Structures are given as C-alpha cells and as structure tokens.
Amino acid sequence: MGQPLVLIHGMWCNTRHLARLDDLFSARTYDCHRPSLPHHEPVDGQAEAVAAVSISEYVQHIKSYIAAQNFSQPPVLVGHSMGGLVAQLVAAQIPTAALVLLTPASPAGVNAVVPRVIRWSLPLLSRPGFWRRAHKLTPERARRYAVNGLHTTHQEKLISSLVYESGRVLSEIAFWWADGAHATRVDAAAIQCPVYVVSAGQDWLTPTSVVKNVAARYANSTYRHWPERNHWVIDDLDTEDMVHEIDGWLRPVLQRLNRKPMTLPKVTRAQ
C-alpha cells in the first residue's frame, strides 16, 4: 500500500469534487482517502444541518477519520480552499508527513477580507445574522468568482453540484479577530512537516496576497504560483501538471522521512 493521502475538500463542496485529484494521485501509487466534511452531502435538510456548524467540528471529523484508518505511517494532508485551512488546523494537532495547501483559506492572523474578496463576499457578509445561516454563491457569482476560467459546460456542471456552507465557518474565517473561541487559530510552530502551497493569479476567493501570507507562516514551506489559473485548481486544464510537480516535491520528502538511521559497524581495536 502506498503513502496515505487524505484529501480535504473546500467550501460548498464535498468528496465528489476531489475525484480528479484522487485519480491523479492514485495513478502515482498514493493511497488516497477523501472524506466528506459533516453535513456536506446534497440531501434534504442539508442547509439547515450545516448552517451553524463550526470549523472546529470539521477538524475533529478529519482527526477522527484519520484515527479510524489506523495508518501505519503519518498521512499527507492535501486541502483545497477551506479544506486547506482544515488541513493546517489538523496538522498542528496530529503527526503529519507533509502538508499540501491548494489555494487555501487563511488562519487567524492573516487578513482574508482583502478588496478582491469583498467583491464576492459582501452580499453574504451583509445578510443579518449570516453567521447563523447557510450560504451558497448564486450561479452568477459562482461563474464570476469561483469557477471563472473554466469551460462553460464544466462551469455549469460544477455549479449545479455545489452545496450549502456554514455561515459560522464563514464568520470564523473572515472575522477571526472577533471569535472568542479562536476556531481558526493555527499554532504554526507545531507544524514541523514540509508544506507545499499553491496560489492562482485569477483567484477571487483566496487571492494571491492572502495565500502568500499563509505560506510565509511556515518555515519549511515551498510556494508555487500559477498566474493564469483560478481558484478551481483541483480540476482544470493544469491539474495534472500541478499534481506532477507536487509528486516531484513530495517523493524526496517522504524518502527522507522514511529513511532509517544508518547503523555504523563496530570497530574492533587491534590487540
């Protein structure tokens, strides 16, 4: 069995949206797992169920999922968007071989509400009591800000598959400074594993300036910027090239991690 990879999806998504990443990493002999975060399946009552859930519940869910797999070695965590923030929070609490953050949401201490983000988020953040309500981008805003740059047919398929997200999670990310529970605070010093961070130049949800600040939090980080790509790096024309690059970075990391200390032979003194 290959190195375990746990793929963590982002806001408005579920495990189905990570199928392309799963296929590409599995073809490179990784043992891929993609749990769906709580209340993210498209079922009746999904909006009501997810509305006031905290990101802390997502973190606990991933920790419990990993514990239940009983992996023989620490997993690699691969997180997209909000899943990238969940991955950071998890990696600060349990042994992790490496962390791959794809256009990740930012932890407490990094300002996520920059001008580019305000353009799409203001209608959501200005709704009375939004932190207690489920939310989802309208199809028009999803086309413009979430899946921009993709082929029209692909856009429409993705938009129709999106689910509702927790207003509380949106609040915890956007207004971390007002959250007394500090749900998105990551102890960066506790993350000792190598970190690979991807940003996209046409990303409106987690803009380059925000993602750069995320990468800068980690001493052992590698930063890769794709100027022409959008937020949906998990399934676009460059996804296979991206996975190829990540694989090239990851294999030496894992080889160093799994390398056993060399035992020197005993030297017997001549009598």
What is the band of 15 on the pLDDT scale with cuts at 50, 70, 90? very high
What is the band of 261 on the pLDDT scale with cuts at 50, 70, 90? low
Please tell me whether residue 74 adopts helix, strand or coil conformation. coil
Positive or negative, the CA dihedral 108, 109, 111, 113 is positive
Q: How many CA atoms lie within 13 A of 133 on its CB side?
A: 9
* More confident of the two residues 267 and 100: 100
Instruction: Give 181-211 pLDDT, tens digit per residue.
Output: 999 999 999 999 999 999 999 999 999 999 9
CA–CA separation, 173 and 134 (whole Å) = 15
CA–CA separation, 86 and 155 (whole Å) = 25
Instruction: Give 30-83 pLDDT, tens digit per residue.
Output: 999 999 999 999 999 999 999 999 999 999 999 999 999 999 999 999 999 999
Which DSSP string do the residues of 5-36 spell out, in sequence order? EEEE--TT--GGGGHHHHHHHHTTT-EEE-PP
pTM: 0.94
pLDDT at 259: 79
Percent of the chain with pLDDT strictly greater than 70: 96
Strands 134-135 and 165-166 come out as: antiparallel
Instruction: Give 76-94 pLDDT, tens digit per residue.
Output: 999 999 999 999 999 999 9
Q: What is the mean pLDDT of residues 246-264?
A: 82
CA 173 to each of CA 97, 111, 169, 207, 230: distance values in angstroms, whole numbers, following the listed order: 25, 9, 6, 14, 20
Instruction: Give 103-131 pLDDT, tens digit per residue.
Output: 999 999 999 999 999 989 998 888 899 99
Q: How many CB atoms lie within 10 A of CB 228?
A: 11
pLDDT at 130: 92
Asked if 132 contacts 158 with a C-beta cutoff of 8 angstroms, the reply is no
Average pLDDT over the chain, rounded to whole? 94
| pLDDT surpasses 90 at 267 | no
Question: Which domains, ranges and CATH numbers included, belong to the chain?
Answer: 4-258 (3.40.50.1820)
